[in-house]
């Protein structure tokens, strides 16, 4: 106790100095006059908190440990349940469950019938798309990419530019955007192939920043800071969703003899996003079970062993970069079509951080976990709009806490259970 008291005193004195300098004074600018207003209460409160925490450190640690043990028990229970599933050898794919989810998601927009609520889900779907794509590089291949949003920007601008200058339709631009982003992934991938871990993270971070600067300054092509406006909305088999169609066309509501209601357009976007998400989930869930997906994981586990078995680690890395960027490109193209206006500020670094936070939270390599984390983060982002720059702090905190408590994510990926074909008689199993 005496030891704690001493520690508490020292910590309090230190924090008094630090707090006085940081939050103890508020600089106010009025016209040309700058004054410093002292805020002693802030310092007092801060010091008190530090003092109390230091004094009752042991007790607090005890409480936290108890909390940690509860968490550990939960994790253990979950692992046992998973093990039981594995022993039964059942595939975790349960069609009834997925069908129910799909039906719920399909009726959702008609039930709420509200632009804001539908819009929130569309945002969630975009985040799911991005996070699933990033998961390929970070979760499966184990290459940290901090500039992922740049590929999203490439996709968005591909559609924006193709539509603005060449009148490309959404459906034609969608695969092109994906491919352009994949190409950008390969172009970035080549020079950074030798890098791993932190170094790779720094280069990708730089790439993200450079791209935003490029978008701001290439005025004649990208429209500079104003971006590109009045991008065409997608059509459904040539039917438009606007009040009045372009010449020669018939808008959706006239075609079906309905009264014009702008929410029809939101329904359309909702289902378009949902379809993209389902497509992405299907393709990625296939990819990771295929030789290419297995080689991504092998690369993460041990690059040297990969090489010794004849796996070309260069092409494995490039394929991970390209395919993950492809999905970012699709998401970007959809985003551009939905917003109808894109500008560099939609592709700032914070977006990369948010997507990475989703991947880390959900559990690297785990699809279900990532979907749930995307919902959580998108909602959090929506509600933390007022917090401005503190949002960055919140997401950083989430990342740190996750790394300490559950480094493998809330829903860690499980190894696939592959049933043996048993063409050879196996003595141990006897089944």
Partner 1 sequence: MLNMQPSLLSVDSIALSFGGLLAVDRVSFAVESGQIFSIIGPNGAGKTTIFNCISGFYAPNTGNISFNGHAIEGRSSHKIAKYGLVRTFQNIRLFKEMTVLENLLVAQHNIANRNLISGIIKLPQYRKAESEALDKAEYWLYQLGLTAFANREANSLAYGQQRTLEIARCMVTEPTMLLLDEPAAGLNPKETEELDELIVQLRDMYGITVLLIEHDMKLVMNISDRILVLDQGRVIANDLPSEVQSDPAVISAYLGEEE
Site string for partner 1, 74-93 (x = CB under 8 A): ------------x-------
Strand-pairing partners, residue 30, are: 33
Is the Cβ–Cβ distance between 343 and 226 less than 8 Å? yes
Closest CA to 149 of 119, 165, 129, 125: 129
**Only segment of 4-12, 205-213, 242-250, 298-306 that touches partner 1 (CB under 8 A):** 298-306
- Using CB under 8 A as the binding criterion, the count of chain residues that bind partner 1 stands at 36
Of the CA atoms within 13 Å of residue 258, those in its CB half-sphere come to 13
262 forms part of the interface with partner 1 (CB under 8 A):
no
Q: How far is the CB of 59 from partner 1 (least distance, A)?
A: 38
278 forms part of the interface with partner 1 (CB under 8 A):
no
Q: How far is the CB of 292 from partner 1 (least distance, A)?
A: 6
For partner 1, the binding residue among 301, 397, 401, 403 (CB under 8 A) is 301
DSSP string, 118-141: HHHHHHHHHHHHHHHHHHIIIIIS
Percentage helix, strand, coil for the chain under 3-state DSSP, each rounded to 5: 70, 5, 25
Closer CB to partner 1, 89 or 191, in the complex:
89
202 forms part of the interface with partner 1 (CB under 8 A):
no
Site string for partner 1, 399-428 (x = CB under 8 A): ----------------xxxx-xxxxx-xxx
Closer CB to partner 1, 323 or 337, in the complex:
323
Is the Cβ–Cβ distance between 19 and 39 less than 8 Å? no
- Joined tokens for residue 101: 């989810």
Helices (H) and strands (E) in the chain, counts: 17, 2
248 forms part of the interface with partner 1 (CB under 8 A):
no
2 forms part of the interface with partner 1 (CB under 8 A):
no
Closer CB to partner 1, 146 or 370, in the complex:
370
- Joined tokens for residue 37: 């207003």
For partner 1, the binding residue among 23, 290, 397, 401 (CB under 8 A) is 290
d(CA 250, CA 366): 44
How many Cβ atoms from other residues are within 10 Å of residue 23's Cβ?
13
179 forms part of the interface with partner 1 (CB under 8 A):
no
User: Residues in the site for partner 1, rule: CB under 8 A?
Assistant: 86, 283, 286-287, 290-292, 294-295, 297-298, 301-302, 304-313, 415-418, 420-424, 426-429
């Amino acid at each position: 106790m005496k030891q704690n008291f001493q520690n508490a005193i020292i910590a309090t004195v230190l924090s008094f100095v630090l707090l006085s300098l940081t939050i103890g004074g508020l600089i106010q600018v009025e016209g040309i006059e700058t004054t410093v207003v002292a805020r002693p209460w802030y310092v007092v409160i801060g010091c008190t908190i530090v003092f109390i925490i230091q004094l009752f450190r042991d007790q607090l640690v005890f409480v936290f440990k108890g909390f940690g043990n509860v968490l550990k028990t939960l994790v253990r229970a979950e692992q046992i349940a998973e093990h039981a599933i594995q022993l039964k050898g059942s595939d975790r794919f349960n069609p009834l469950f997925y069908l129910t989810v799909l039906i719920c998601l399909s009726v959702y927009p008609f039930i709420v019938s509200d632009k804001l609520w539908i819009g929130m889900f569309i945002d969630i779907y975009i985040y799911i798309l991005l996070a699933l794509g990033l998961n390929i590089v970070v979760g499966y291949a184990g290459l940290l990419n901090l500039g992922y949003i740049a590929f999203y920007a490439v996709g968005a601008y591909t559609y924006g530019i193709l539509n603005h200058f060449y009148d490309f339709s959404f459906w034609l631009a969608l695969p092109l955007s994906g491919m352009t982003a994949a190409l950008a992934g390969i172009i970035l991938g080549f020079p950074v192939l030798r890098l791993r871990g932190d170094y790779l993270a720094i280069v990708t971070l730089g790439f993200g920043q450079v791209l935003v600067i490029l978008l701001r300054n290439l005025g004649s092509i990208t429209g500079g800071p104003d971006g590109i406006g009045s991008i065409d909305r997608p059509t459904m088999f040539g039917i438009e969703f606007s009040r009045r169609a372009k010449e020669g066309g018939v808008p959706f509501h006239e075609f079906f003899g309905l009264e014009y209601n702008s929410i029809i357009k939101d329904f359309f976007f909702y289902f378009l996003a949902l379809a993209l998400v389902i497509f992405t989930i299907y393709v990625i869930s296939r990819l990771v079970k295929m030789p290419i997906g297995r080689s991504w994981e092998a690369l993460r586990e041990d690059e040297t062993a990969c090489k010794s078995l004849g796996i070309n680690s260069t092409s494995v890395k490039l394929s991970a970069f390209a395919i993950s960027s492809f999905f970012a490109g699709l998401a970007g193209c959809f985003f551009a079509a939905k917003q109808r206006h894109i500008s560099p500020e939609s592709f700032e670094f914070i977006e990369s951080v948010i997507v990475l936070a989703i991947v880390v939270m959900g559990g690297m390599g785990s699809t279900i976990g990532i979907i749930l984390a995307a919902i959580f983060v998108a909602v959090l982002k929506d509600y933390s709009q007022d917090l401005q720059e503190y949002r960055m702090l919140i997401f950083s905190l989430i990342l740190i806490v996750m790394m300490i408590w559950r480094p493998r994510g809330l829903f860690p990926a499980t190894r696939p259970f592959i049933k043996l074909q048993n063409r050879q008689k196996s003595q141990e199993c006897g089944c």
